[in-house]
Structure 1
Amino acid sequence: MRFNKELKNIKIYEAGKPIELVVREFGIDEKDIVKLASNENPYGTSPKVVEAVKLVVDKMSLYPDDSMFELKKGLSNKFKVKSENIIIGAGSDQILEFACRAVLNDNTKVLMNKITFAMYEIYALQQGAKVLKTRCYRHDLDEFYDIYKKASPDIVFICSPNNPTGDALGKEYIYTFLEKVKEPLVIVDGAYMEYAGYKDEKKRVEPKDLIDKFENVLYLGTFSKAYGLGGLRVGYGIANEEIIKNLYKLRPPFNITTLSLKAAVEALKDEDFVNDSVKRNFTQMERYVNFAIQRGFEYIDSYTNFITYIFPKEVSSKELSNRLLQRGIIVRDLTGYGMNALRITIGTKEQNDKFFEKFKEVLNGY
């Protein structure tokens, strides 16, 4: 059987290990497992969302409103943009896919950070594009600009806050870069923007500012993180009407579900839940920062709902991850990204208590 040649060198994206896998492999009771690997909201989703979804369960046999009128209206009101500036996806990564399919081919190039969300590279390679990366794991937009001037990429990916490292760029720093980069499509991925904006307003990037100032920018947001809808897969893109119209040509009909649509609409109405989740996140994150300082670990100052610990070469993050897994603690090893590091989602107080208990065991026996 013949497959497209572009698939030959593409690595399969590895999601965080599911709880069910740990139950099967290690025989650990599900209630004793703590999953801190996929940056889900440990506080669930708004109870108002749960109740609203229950009311439409009997409509699962029906397709959703494909215009997504109510959700677009909610996002339009929140961000002060027109509905025509919005596209909805099955997670923001589906909109990434649309953008890559719309722009890229085997004569094009993309520019991204050395360590960033893996799907940027995967979608680019699917289209046959050449991938250019910076040398530094932190976003250095001066280096981005140097590469841009030499290579003229067709898409530039900026992930702020960045996944899987957690660092974030200042808004003005991003704007200064965008003022000099007029040609390519620039995708600003704000999946964790609710967290960054809470911690430091100077890191908050508003979609309206972006699309008013820059015609070549596509902003991405998601309901999977702060809104707690990771299992329902809803994301959105905001850009000028020309970009959105072209992305719509690639969107399949009914690309999110009836239940997903209802959940996202209701989630937008309960900002108190989001704000409370974000506040609790940073209260608990202080424990991780203090633990790293006490143990002498390097950590990355995080503007997200996770923290990244970086270890010296004599300590293997892969081994630490495996030993935690055997104790029912699921974290994300970043060896595959070229980092000797662990990315740990900030859980509830109880989940974090258990993490520290088991992590101390692992470290003491290392």
Structure 2
Amino acid sequence: MEFNKVLDNCKIYEAGKPIELVVREYGVDEKDIIKLASNENPYGTSPKVTKKIQELAQNMFVYPDDSMYELKEALANKFDVQSENVIIGAGSDQIIDFVIKAKCDENSKMLMSKTTFAMYEIYGRQTGCEILKTEDDEHNLEQFESMYKEHGADVIFLCLPNNPLGECLDKEAVYEFLGKVDKDTLVVVDGAYQEYATFKDSKKAINPADLIEHFPNTIYLGTFSKAYALGGMRTGYGIAQTSIIKTMYKLRPPFNITTLSLAAGIEALKDEEFVNKCIAKNFEEMKRYEEYAISKGFSYIESYTNFITLKFDNKYISSEVAQNLLERGVIVRDLTGYGVNAIRVTIGTQNQNTRVFKMLDEVLAQLEKVENL
């Protein structure tokens, strides 16, 4: 059977390994497994959200409000925009799909950093468009500008902060770059981890209302999967000028998120205190990873997210480190597939991180012993 030829060049997105796989393949007791591969909030969901979901669980047979009025209003109030500037998606990655389908075909070009969120390229290749990447792994706006001048682009992706590496550009530099982009090029500012970046450094903060006012050719993406701890609810959003949002709606399927997902997002926005406490704990624990890397003689990328990238340079092979940790019940993300000899580790709770350091000590000692045989 033949399928669309553009799919020949499409890779399948590899999500972080599930706990069930580790139990099944390595015989580790489920209660001993530490999952730090998918950048979930280790402190769980706000109790207010949990309570609301329990109340509404009996209504699962009812379709959600397809206008998504309450959630859009809540987001509009939070970001000082109009509800007409907001679109809701099944995770922000669904809106990435909308953006690319709205702008791209086999004659189009997309520009992104060499190492960034994999779904940009995957969705892009589904349209047959040409994928352009900068040379550096981390975002380099000089390279973005140079490639844009030489090749042009229909869509540009800026992941701020960047997943899977964790670095983040200053808003001032981003705005300077956006001022050089043609009005017909749609720029996606992916703010999936913006809550963390804003908390750590105000120079990184991107305000969606300010962004779309100054640059009408931009769309800001946010999600409830990270800081708001609703990864399992698959709720994301886009904020842009109404003309862009109206176009996105032509691609949105009906009832694209659930009744419970809508309610969870609405309640989560009411408990910013919980979110801020989680973010504060995140950066307290991140310092321990930075100190650990320094003590072991390998480097890390300064992170503005809820994860940290540990780079092994020539000291260790990341795939071996990740595999050995996996066999001990610690799930991290090996970045070999991105061409980087590093692992990405979600920042866990204090107890989880203490156990990770202990197991990392064991793994690194074992790998050194093997190398010396």
- TM above 0.5: yes
* TM category, shorter: over 0.9
How far off its partner does 1:42 sit?
0.2
CA contact (8 A) 2:155 2:186 kept: yes
How far off its partner does 1:312 sit?
2.1
State how far apart, in whole Å, the 1-side matches of 2:220 and 2:177 are.
Answer: 15
TM-score (norm 1): 0.99
Q: AA paired with 2:252?
A: R
Q: AA paired with 1:283?
A: E
Q: Could you say which residue in structure 2 is the equivalent of 1:84?
A: 84
Q: Could you say which residue in structure 2 is the equivalent of 1:235?
A: 236
TM-score (norm 2): 0.97
How far off its partner does 1:294 sit?
0.8
How far off its partner does 1:138 sit?
1.2
User: What is the correspondence of 1:291-306 to structure 2 with a 5 Å cutoff?
Assistant: 291-306=292-307
Deviations 1:96-133 (CA, angstroms, capped at 9, x unpaired) = 00011111000000000000000000000000000000
Deviations 1:324-365 (CA, angstroms, capped at 9, x unpaired) = 000000000000000000000000011101111111000111
Pair 1:42 & 2:39 matched: no
Q: Secondary structure of the residue that 2:187 maps to in structure 1?
A: strand
CA contact (8 A) 2:36 2:331 kept: yes
Q: Could you say which residue in structure 2 is the equivalent of 1:4?
A: 4
Q: Could you say which residue in structure 2 is the equivalent of 1:329?
A: 330
| Residues 314 and 287 (structure 1), Cα distance of their counterparts in 2 relative to 1, 3 Å cut | closer
State how far apart, in whole Å, the 2-side matches of 1:42 and 1:265 are.
Answer: 21
Pair 1:130 & 2:130 matched: yes
State how far apart, in whole Å, the 2-side matches of 1:319 and 1:138 are.
Answer: 24
Deviations 1:132-173 (CA, angstroms, capped at 9, x unpaired) = 000001111111011111111100000010000000000010
Q: Secondary structure of the residue that 2:232 maps to in structure 1?
A: coil
Q: Which moved more, 1:225-234 or 1:135-144?
A: 135-144
State how far apart, in whole Å, the 2-side matches of 1:344 and 1:3 are.
Answer: 37
Q: Could you say which residue in structure 1 is the equivalent of 2:268?
A: 267
Report the aligned-residue RMSD: 0.6
Q: Which moved more, 1:309-318 or 1:22-31?
A: 309-318
Q: Which moved more, 1:82-91 or 1:350-359?
A: 350-359
State how far apart, in whole Å, the 1-side matches of 2:315 and 2:173 are.
Answer: 36
Q: Secondary structure of the residue that 1:308 maps to in structure 2?
A: strand
Q: Could you say which residue in structure 2 is the equivalent of 1:144?
A: 144
State how far apart, in whole Å, the 2-side matches of 1:320 and 1:165 are.
Answer: 17
CA contact (8 A) 2:46 2:271 kept: yes
CA contact (8 A) 2:23 2:29 kept: yes
Q: Secondary structure of the residue that 2:11 maps to in structure 1?
A: coil
Q: AA paired with 1:88?
A: I
Q: Could you say which residue in structure 2 is the equivalent of 1:192?
A: 193
Q: AA paired with 2:316?
A: V
Q: Secondary structure of the residue that 1:276 maps to in structure 2?
A: helix
State how far apart, in whole Å, the 2-side matches of 1:339 and 1:30 are.
Answer: 30
CA contact (8 A) 2:298 2:315 kept: no
State how far apart, in whole Å, the 2-side matches of 1:56 and 1:3 are.
Answer: 42
Q: AA paired with 2:157?
A: F
How far off its partner does 1:313 sit?
3.0
Q: Could you say which residue in structure 2 is the equivalent of 1:30?
A: 30
Instruction: Count the aligned residue pairs.
Output: 366
Q: AA paired with 1:167?
A: E
How far off its partner does 1:314 sit?
4.6
Q: Could you say which residue in structure 2 is the equivalent of 1:158?
A: 158
CA contact (8 A) 2:222 2:237 kept: yes
Q: Secondary structure of the residue that 1:50 maps to in structure 2?
A: helix
State how far apart, in whole Å, the 2-side matches of 1:9 and 1:125 are.
Answer: 7
Identity %: 61
Q: Could you say which residue in structure 2 is the equivalent of 1:180?
A: 180
State how far apart, in whole Å, the 2-side matches of 1:154 and 1:319 are.
Answer: 39
CA contact (8 A) 2:92 2:237 kept: yes
Q: AA paired with 1:110?
A: M
State how far apart, in whole Å, the 2-side matches of 1:362 and 1:143 are.
Answer: 38
Deviations 1:38-94 (CA, angstroms, capped at 9, x unpaired) = 000000010000001111101100010000000011001100000000000000000
Q: Secondary structure of the residue that 1:147 maps to in structure 2?
A: helix
Structure 2 residues not aligned, in runs of 5+: 368-373
Segments ≥4 residues shifted beyond 2 Å:
none
Structure 1 residues not aligned, in runs of 5+: none
State how far apart, in whole Å, the 1-side matches of 2:64 and 2:12 are.
Answer: 31
Q: Could you say which residue in structure 1 is the equivalent of 2:356?
A: 355
Q: AA paired with 1:135?
A: E
Deviations 1:8-65 (CA, angstroms, capped at 9, x unpaired) = 0111100000000000001111000000000000000100000011111011000100
